[in-house]
Every structure is written in structure tokens, then in C-alpha cells.
Amino acid sequence: MLKLSMLAAAALVAVGLSVPAHAEATVSRDAPAFDQVAQNTTATITGRGVRLRAQPSPTGRVLARLARGTRVAVLARQGDWVNVRAGRRTGYVASQYVSS
């Protein structure tokens, strides 16, 4: 049986992949919960060369660098991280660089 963390399952759905029906969701006590936001919520990147990361961590793999003024779709927020979609890429940005 395939086991996915809630964050992994949400990431699969966020990038347009389906989660198998037989997948079992597991919740880790250490995993932060992301607050879902209303659809069509947009924000602006406020820093220069802000890193879009694959994981909500300062050591997460860098997917892209976003220029100041880039408009992004906000998918979820949690503490120091915002799950965003920038163009075709979905990832995480430090919340200090995102202005609603």
C-alpha cells in the first residue's frame, strides 16, 4: 500500500497529479499544516532573486528565482512559508518576500 504524507499528497494535487485511490494519508506530528487560501488569491514578490523552493525549508532544492514584482498565485500559507504558483512552477517562498 502506498503511504503519502498530507504535504506530499497536497503537493501532488497542486502540480496537477492525481493521488492514487489506494494511497494512505499519514500525518506526522512534526509536519506543519498549511492553511488553504481562497482561490484566485494573488500576491507580489517583494525581494530580488527570491528562491522558489521545492520544499518549505531554507535547504529545499531551488526550482527558480523570482524577480521583484513577480505576481504569483498563493495556494497556502503556514508560518514562515507560502506555497505559490509562478507560471508553470509550484513551490515555496519565504513569507517575508511575499506581499498580498
Residues 69, 94: one domain?
yes
- pLDDT tens, residue by residue, 19-77: 555 555 444 455 556 666 555 689 999 999 999 999 999 999 999 999 999 999 999 99
Tell whether 53 and 97 lie within a shared domain.
yes
CATH of the domain at 77: 2.30.30.170
Q: Are residues 11 and 40 in the same domain?
A: no
- By residue range, what is the domain housing residue 23? 1-31
Overall pTM > 0.85? no
Q: How far is 91 from 42, CA to CA, in rounded Å?
A: 14
Number of compact structural domains in the chain: 2
Are 55 and 86 in a shared domain?
A: yes
* Residues 99, 62 share a domain: yes
The pLDDT of residue 78: 87
